[in-house]
Amino acid sequence: MASGNALLELEGVSKRFGPVQALDRVDFTVGEGEVVGLVGDNGAGKSTLVKTIAGIHSPDAGSIRFGGETVAISRPQDATSLGIATVYQDLALCDNLDVVANVFLGQERISDGPARVSRQLDEAQMEHRASELLSGLAVTIPSLRSEVGTLSGGQRQQVAVARSLLGEPKVVLLDEPTAALGVPQTKQVLELIGRLRERGLGVVVISHNLANVFEVADRIVVLRLGRAAGDFEAEKTTEEHVVAAITGAGGGGGEGAEG
Amino acid sequence: MNTTATAEPVSEKVRVARSETVRRFVQGDLASLRVVLGLAVIWIIFQSQNDRFLTAENLTNLMLQITAVGLISIGIVYVLLLGEIDLSVGAVSGLAAAVMTVLNVNHGWSPYLAIVAGILVGTAIGLLQGSLFSRFAVPSFVVTLAGLLAWQGALLQVLGSTGSININDPKITGLANTFYSDAVGWVIAVVIVAAYAGVVLAGHRSRVAHGLTGEGLAPLAVRIVLVALVTIVAVAILNSDRGVPLALLILLAFVVGFEYVAKRTRFGRHVYAVGGNAEAARRAGIGVNKIRIVVFGIAGTMAAIGGIMAASRLLAVNQSSGGSELLLLAIAGPVIAGTSLFGGRGAVWTALLGALVIGSISNGMDLLALSSAVKFMVTGGVLLLAAIVDAIARQQRQAAGRV
């Protein structure tokens, strides 16, 4: 592997929705400080795989190890408590709330002292922490008290990523983080992903955009029709090879490639 | 590389803050300021038509007139923040007042127990409607429309054959008919200003303690002085008539209390979050259904309290208690004062401000001896105008939303 110890390892994971075999004995790993690009055609099983890791779907078969230990992830809370954070494509931000409120949504800090009875928000502490978090990511946001609805797509993506880091996760799953972003904003988000790697996080990036994946990923895993159809080191392969694995036009690189 | 938020020069921050203020004004977040100006215009117009309008006596009457609808509107604000509606609050207010009155007058309950029972009826109805709404995903419009009919029927049932019951208990009638002496009025003024200053300065200290740059002490001082001025003028005016009415203090206490809950507590934050993006709230682990049920419980509770205040002022409950335009005015008030019908935006004090606007229009037209026909049409026009302004502000936000 390109980087340190394996953090998250999936072995032979399968998931079936009625007649559709969405995942078929998929192996997948991501290590510390490693960015893994997860690519594949529509319906290849990328989203299903991520949702399985995130605890939204539970697998029909196969095992998941986290930090070397076999774990069961059957609810989103299980994933969160293990240290797996997910940033969904539609971001799930509240446009009517400011940046601080969105970063802490559902995990608000409560004041000490007598006001604790009413669950009074500790706004100053939250703003302080949000400011640390965002400047640690070198994020460009005009004011922490701006409503999220007034931010650009790239800034919203950064807020969503910052929020996922609040629980100090070890693995971050990003679902199409650059979809619908302009060129400079895409660059911001890719740089942000680079900084997550520098912090030693394992990062899984789903993307349709192979150029983006090549720019940021250490390793590229291809899914095709629910099966692992290739596992490439980004520096040692070319877009042609990856495209071939995606489309099934022969030549796939890794185990599980279609015969 | 990027510049970080913290590395920006100070002048840049000031510029951003200033443009933020302009944007908020244009896009309607400062709608309350527009409404305050509108209220001033309304007062000037009526005063120019009838110089009794701005007398201490009439302003005191105005305060008494808006208490019930203002209290009901507080609950409506919470429901509107969720992007929902509660059409049953008028009927609930009438039923709660009737339950209180029947228990007190016909069954000899103590006034306190009767009041508590009336309020709990409202709470229970609200929780029931909220549960039906969230459990079965029936639109709140329909659930509470059914409630409107059902609770009106319950009101007639509780009142029985007489159709009207007079309230004689001094504890109950005292709610809307008690006035404090001048001295007590000034003590109240001092307490209000001191409490406000204390809260503002505590917030400032907390920010400084966390190393955050605040807006500086000058704007805080301006706000405190402004609140002090308004309080002093209000108390002076009320004292020159009958004194500060208990009813107004009850209304203010609920407005301040629920404003605090909305803006400063985790529950309030979650209400705004559910109203802004329910799916995002759910994914963030917020119990969306629980929030919805509690909010409808608040609406029912405040409706009951408003109904009890109305009965206290009227000295009776009858078959039309909580009927006619009460419901519509309670909803129109916050909307006129800037709480959005689309959810997620608004403030509890718009209940007070909206009740003032609507109450002023109604009171002023009564002084001019205009008919109900004209009153309804004018109030309707004002509501429509406010709703259009809200919709335009929303469109602008959406247009500006994703640059």
Q: What CATH number is given to the structural domain containing B110?
A: 1.10.3470
The rounded percent of chain B whose pLDDT value lies above 70 is 91
Residue A140 lies in a domain: no
Could you report the per-residue pLDDT of A57-113, keeping only the tens digit for each?
889 999 999 988 999 988 888 888 899 998 887 768 999 999 999 999 988 999 887
A118 touches chain B (CB under 8 A): yes
Name chain B contacts of A94, Cβ cutoff 8 Å: 272-273, 276-277, 280-281, 344
Q: Three-state SS for B196? A: helix
Name chain B contacts of A97, Cβ cutoff 8 Å: 269, 272-273, 276, 344
pLDDT at B21: 56
Same domain, B209 and B286: no
Which of A76, A106, A135 is facing B4, going by the closest CB pair? Answer: A135
Q: What percent of chain B is helix, strand and coil (3-state, nearest 5)? A: 75, 0, 20
Which of A97, A121, A125 is facing B264, going by the closest CB pair? Answer: A121
Test B277 with A143 for CB contact under 8 angstroms: no
Same domain, B307 and B372: yes
Same domain, B212 and B359: no
Residue A115 lies in a domain: no
Which residues span the domain enclosing A32? Answer: 6-83+169-247
Residue A97 lies in a domain: no
- Residue A252, pLDDT > 60, answer no
- Residue B344, pLDDT > 50, answer yes
Of chain A residues 158-197, which have a CB less than 8 A from chain B?
A: 188, 191
Test B16 with A152 for CB contact under 8 angstroms: no
Residue B139 lies in a domain: yes
If you average pLDDT over residues B256-272, what whole number do you get? 96
Residue B253 lies in a domain: no
- Residue B259, pLDDT > 50, answer yes
Q: What is the pLDDT of chain A when averaged over all its residues?
A: 87
Pick the range with the lowest mean pLDDT from A161-165, B14-18, B63-67, B218-222.
B14-18
Could you report the per-residue pLDDT of A230-246, keeping only the tens digit for each?
899 988 888 888 888 88
Residue B251 lies in a domain: no
Which of A106, A152, A156 is facing B286, going by the closest CB pair? Answer: A106
Same domain, B287 and B161: yes
If you average pLDDT over residues B57-82, what whole number do you get? 97
A89 touches chain B (CB under 8 A): no
Phi and psi, residue A223, nearest 5°: -110, 140
Residue A59 lies in a domain: yes
Q: How far is residue B177's CA from residue B168's CA, in Å, rounded to a whole number?
A: 12
Give B9's pLDDT tier (boundaries 50, 70, 90): very low
Residue A156 lies in a domain: no
Name chain A contacts of B209, Cβ cutoff 8 Å: 124
* Mutate which: B207, B266, B339, B395, vs A, most A CBs within 10 A: B266
- Residues whose CB falls within 8 Å of the CB of residue A153, separated by 6 or more in sequence, listed in order: A180, A181, A182, A185, B402
Same domain, B169 and B285: yes
Domain boundary among the residues B196, B214, B244 is at: B244
Residue A129 lies in a domain: no
pLDDT at B376: 83
User: Full-prediction pTM beyond 0.90?
Assistant: no
Q: Considering its fold, how many domains does chain B have in total? A: 2
Hey, what are B164's tokens?
């009207």
Shortest CA gap B199–chain A (Å): 12
Could you report the per-residue pLDDT of A144-160, keeping only the tens digit for each?
988 998 888 888 888 99
Same domain, B216 and B356: no
Residue A199 lies in a domain: yes
Give B31's pLDDT tier (boundaries 50, 70, 90): low
Phi and psi, residue B343, nearest 5°: 90, 150
Same domain, B113 and B197: no
Residue A209 lies in a domain: yes
From residue B224, alpha-carbon distances to A92, B186, B199, B214 in Å are 38, 17, 10, 16
pLDDT at B215: 67
- Residue B260, pLDDT > 90, answer yes
Task: Give me the amino acid identity at A128.
Answer: H
Rg, Å, chain B Cα set: 22
Could you report the per-residue pLDDT of B157-185, keeping only the tens digit for each?
999 888 899 999 999 999 999 999 999 99
Residue B1 lies in a domain: no
Same domain, B160 and B291: yes
pLDDT at A5: 80
Could you report the per-residue pLDDT of A182-199, keeping only the tens digit for each?
888 888 889 999 999 999
Nearest CA in chain A to B8: A142
Q: Considering its fold, how many domains does chain A have in total? A: 1
The answer to whether A141 touches A134, Cβ cutoff 8 Å, is: yes
Test B401 with A139 for CB contact under 8 angstroms: no
Residue B15 lies in a domain: no
Name chain A contacts of B207, Cβ cutoff 8 Å: 124, 127
Name chain B contacts of A149, Cβ cutoff 8 Å: 397, 401
Shortest CA gap B399–chain A (Å): 10
Higher pLDDT, B329 or A114: B329
pLDDT at B322: 85
Nearest CA in chain A to B401: A150
Hey, what are B74's tokens?
């507080």
First-residue to last-residue Cα distance in chain A? 24
Higher pLDDT, B61 or A90: B61
* Mutate which: A98, A150, A164, A191, vs B, most B CBs within 10 A: A150
pLDDT at B244: 95
Nearest CA in chain B to A182: B403
Same domain, B238 and B118: no
Pick the range with the lowest mean pLDDT from B40-54, B175-189, B209-223, B230-244.
B209-223
* Mutate which: A86, A97, A127, A141, vs B, most B CBs within 10 A: A97
Q: The domain that contains A194 carries what CATH number?
A: 3.40.50.300
If you average pLDDT over residues B314-331, what whole number do you get? 89
Pick the range with the lowest mean pLDDT from A209-213, B24-28, B123-127, B298-302.
B24-28
Which residues span the domain enclosing B79? Answer: 31-178+266-401
- Residues whose CB falls within 8 Å of the CB of residue A20, separated by 6 or more in sequence, listed in order: none
If you average pLDDT over residues B367-371, what whole number do you get? 90
A107 touches chain B (CB under 8 A): yes
pLDDT at B115: 97
pLDDT at B34: 79
pLDDT at A258: 38
Same domain, B288 and B380: yes
pLDDT at A115: 78
pLDDT at A2: 42
The answer to whether B183 touches A100, Cβ cutoff 8 Å, is: no
Q: Three-state SS for A178? A: coil
Q: How far is residue A240's CA from residue B216's CA, in Å, rounded to a whole number?
A: 59
Higher pLDDT, B127 or B19: B127
Same domain, B164 and B195: no
- Residues whose CB falls within 8 Å of the CB of residue B93, separated by 6 or more in sequence, listed in order: B68, B72, B122, B303, B304, B306, B307, B310, B321, B322, B326
B1 touches chain A (CB under 8 A): yes
H-run or E-run covering A30: strand A20-31
Test B401 with A150 for CB contact under 8 angstroms: yes
Shortest CA gap B336–chain A (Å): 19
Same domain, B172 and B312: yes
pLDDT at A209: 87
The answer to whether A203 touches A36, Cβ cutoff 8 Å, is: yes
Of chain B residues 258-287, which have a CB less than 8 A from chain A?
A: 260-261, 264-267, 269-270, 272-273, 275-277, 279-281, 283-286
Residue B252 lies in a domain: no
H-run or E-run covering A224: strand A219-224
Residue A214 has, within 13 A of its CA and on its CB side, a CA count of: 12
Test A131 with B260 for CB contact under 8 angstroms: no
Of chain A residues 131-150, which have a CB less than 8 A from chain B?
A: 131, 134-135, 138-146, 149-150
Could you report the per-residue pLDDT of B83-116, keeping only the tens digit for each?
999 999 999 999 999 999 999 999 999 999 999 9
Higher pLDDT, B381 or B92: B92
The strand order across the sheet containing A219-224 reads A84-87, A171-175, A202-206, A35-40, A219-224, A227-233
